[in-house]
Structures are given as C-alpha cells and as structure tokens.
Amino acid sequence: MSQLNRRSALTAAGSLTLTTLLNQAVAADKAGIQGRVPKGKMRVVQLGEQKSFDTLTMAERTIPAPGPGQALIRVHYAGIAARDQGIAMKLFPVPPGPRPATLIPLSEGCGEVLALGAGEERIKVGDRVTAPHWANWVSGPWSPANYVADVGNTIDGWLGEYILLPAMALVRVPENVASEHAATLSGSGLTAWHALHEVAHVRSDDTVLTLGTGGVSSFGLLFAKAAGARVVVTSSSDAKLDQARQLGADITVNYKTNPQWGKEVMEKTGGQGASVVLENVGPATLDQSMAAAAVNARVVMIGTGRPPPNPPNMNGMYLKNLMLKAISAGSRTMMENMITAMAQNNLKPVIALTIPFAEAKRAYTEIRDGDHFGKIVIKIS
C-alpha cells in the first residue's frame, strides 16, 4: 500500500487506533489486497427461513476481506425489485427450493470500493460502483450459466453494510449520477434499457407502451422519452397516470377501469398501436398487449407474473407479424452504456420511497402493496 493510500486509510477510519490501522494495512499488503478492510462486524439482513417477510433477520458477521478478483464495497443504498419478494418466500423458481438461511438478499445497490483482491486493474479503490445482478455476464448473448452468480439470489446481495462482489461485475458510477439513483439500475433500469436499446432499437418515431408504473415501467418511460419516442403508460390508478403524464407520458390508460385497454391504446394512437411493447406483467396481459400492438411491433417479455387460467390467444402474433423476445435484465456492457447515457442526458430515476436500513423489512411490504410509482430504495450508509 502506498504512503498516500495508507494515510487516507488512516484519515477515513477516525475511531480506530493507529496501531490497529497499521496492522490492518500490513496484513492487506501481504494478501495482495489494495485498499483497506475495516476490522470488525457488519450488520446484514439474512433470508432466514423464507416463510414470510417476518423471517428476514438482521445479523452480524465479520467484514470479509476480498479474495483474488473480488471487491469489498461499503454499501450506500440498496434497491428492491419485484423478484426479491419471491426470493424471500421460497417462491422464486430458479434455482428451485430454499436458499441458504444466511443469504443476504437484494440484487440492486451502489457503494464505494474499499478494498480489491489481487488481479483487479479496471476498478480502483475509492470508486463509486454498481453492478448488474448477473455478476458474470460481461457482454454478448444471455446464458443460463449466469445463474451461478446472481446477486441476491445465488450469491450474497446488497442488503448489508458491506458487500463482496466479483470485481469483473463492477460498473463505475459517473459523478453526476447519485448513489440513490445508481442503486435502482441492476434489475429495473437495466431491463428497460436492454428491452428498448438492445432488442427494440427504439427510435423517435416509435410509440412505446410500458405496462404499469413500477420499477421497470418507470424506467421504460424515462428511457423511451429520452429516445424521443411517444410513450403510452397503463396503470390501475388515475393518480399514478397523472404522475406519468407529468413525467412525460403522452397517452395514459387505466387498465382497471377498462379491462379491454388494448383497444383504448389502439384508439388513442389513431389506429396505429404501439410499435414497441414492454410487457412488464407476463402472459396474463399478453392478449391486451397484442391488441395494443402495431403491425410488426417488437414485444419484449419482461414480467414473470403467473400465467392466466386460460392461455392467451396467440392469433394476434400471426395477424400482426409481431416479434416476441424475452429478456433477463442485462450485461455489464449494457449497464455501462446505460449509465453513460444517464450521465450525459441527466436522466433521473423516479424514487417513490427511501427507507432506513433499520426498517429494511418495510421495503418488502411496500413493494408487495404496490402503492409505489418507480423505485423503492433502502439507505444503508
């Protein structure tokens, strides 16, 4: 460790004694670690028995040192997404069955790199970072092998004071992107970006339909407007539709008061329909999404909601020659492109609620209750 780094380590950890800090720094040097591993315990939330949100438990464990190719990050914010409810209750299908009781949940977050294991050159100590939740997916096409390192599902997630991640997953957060905002990107932001820019190749002459006003949908609105497209938003709530219009939605439709909302989208777009559909719910709404779609539209399957009792009528797919493509969040390269675009265009995610770490369980009940427009985040440090 250089004298400069050693000095900044000393300044940063004001409450520790000089001897302790020097010992730590020497130990770190011996292991080939750059930076500083704070000595002591960290508070984390663990999944526990996975019977209900009440079985999530606060625990303490030793702050880990990064091994080769790993990074230790002090977490500033974590984000919660729909899938985290399923993971907390043994309902998320891949991998099947319960996760270890000690698994730390949540796939989205942002923090500062404190220490790096041997072999990492791309990221530096002190960088503010986030990461896609598929920690091994750097670029190229999707592979189910990515499940081996799925943050908050098969490896520890962001709901703790520190997180150990593969350094190859990390994406530097530009200065003008706030940590609170960067903590919403790994699942929700990245999925909407992937759908719009990697699958649909959205253009300003597109009409983009994004279903609902939750995490993914709010990013659908943000990114589609940034691309200059016309945007249609559906919601069960007129108040949320008002908010969507304030955020730039051109056309809004209440799917609760009008179960045949696909026809309403068609009418309100002058009989053209949506050329891009972000299907954020799942097979249950596919019938109406097909009704709302333009001829030759690109329909991106995102929502993993339960299938309806009767399968959707797929005739619309053939009649309109629709393209149907399912996606799984996104890669590190996609995330780098997205975060650069956000920084350059000053794009800010919609945060519905910021919850203190001590009340982390509340984030689960809030996302289950569905009153939010946009993202729910947890402030850790």
Q: How far is the CB of 374 from ligand NAP (least distance, A)?
A: 8
Q: How far is the CB of 26 from ligand NAP (least distance, A)?
A: 44
Q: Does 179 bind ligand NAP (CB under 6 A)?
A: no
What gap in Å lies between CA 243 and CA 75, rounded to an integer? 30
Q: How far is the CB of 244 from ligand NAP (least distance, A)?
A: 8
Q: Does 354 bind ligand NAP (CB under 6 A)?
A: no
Q: What's 66's DSSP letter?
A: P
Q: Does 367 bind ligand NAP (CB under 6 A)?
A: yes
Three-point CA angle 106, 38, 166, nearest 5°: 45
Among 5, 55, 272, 304, binds ligand NAP (CB under 6 A): 304
Cβ atoms of 56 and 49 closer than 8 Å: no
Please tell me the number of Cα atoms within 13 Å of 327 on its side-chain side.
Answer: 27
Cβ atoms of 296 and 276 closer than 8 Å: no
Identify the three-state secondary structure at position 282. coil
Q: Does 352 bind ligand NAP (CB under 6 A)?
A: no
Among 328, 349, 351, 380, binds ligand NAP (CB under 6 A): 328
Q: Does 332 bind ligand NAP (CB under 6 A)?
A: no
The b/e string for 185-211 (b: 16+ C-beta within 10 A; e otherwise) is bbbbbbbbbbbbbbbbebeeebbbbbb
Name the closest residue to ligand NAP (Cβ).
Answer: 214
Which residue lies nearer to ligand NAP by CB, 286 or 297? 286
Q: How far is the CB of 177 from ligand NAP (least distance, A)?
A: 20
What gap in Å lies between CA 100 and CA 189, rounded to an integer? 28
φ, ψ (nearest 5 deg) of residue 195: -60, -45
Q: Does 370 bind ligand NAP (CB under 6 A)?
A: yes
Distances (CA, A) of 292 to 61, 216, 315, 320: 51, 19, 14, 11
What gap in Å lies between CA 358 and CA 152, rounded to an integer? 19
Q: Does 262 bind ligand NAP (CB under 6 A)?
A: no
Q: Does 184 bind ligand NAP (CB under 6 A)?
A: no
Contact pattern for ligand NAP over residues 40 through 79, marking x by CB under 6 A: ----------------------------------------
Among 21, 221, 302, 351, binds ligand NAP (CB under 6 A): 302
Q: Which two tokens stand for residue 243?
A: 């908010």
Q: How far is the CB of 73 from ligand NAP (least distance, A)?
A: 22
Cβ atoms of 373 and 351 closer than 8 Å: no
Q: How far is the CB of 301 from ligand NAP (least distance, A)?
A: 7
Q: How far is the CB of 318 from ligand NAP (least distance, A)?
A: 24
Which residue lies nearer to ligand NAP by CB, 193 or 357? 193
Answer whether the bond into residue 100 is a cis peptide, omega within 30°. no
Q: How far is the CB of 41 from ligand NAP (least distance, A)?
A: 31
Please, which of residues 88-147 interact with ligand NAP by CB under 6 A? Answer: none
Please, which of residues 191-250 interact with ligand NAP by CB under 6 A? Answer: 191, 211-217, 234-237, 240
Pairing of strands 251-254, 274-279: unpaired
Cβ atoms of 105 and 84 closer than 8 Å: yes
Which residue lies nearer to ligand NAP by CB, 8 or 258? 258
What gap in Å lies between CA 346 and CA 176, rounded to an integer? 8
Cβ atoms of 83 and 187 closer than 8 Å: yes
Q: Does 303 bind ligand NAP (CB under 6 A)?
A: yes
- Interface residues with ligand NAP (CB under 6 A)? 81-83, 187-188, 191, 211-217, 234-237, 240, 255, 280-282, 285, 302-305, 327-329, 367, 370
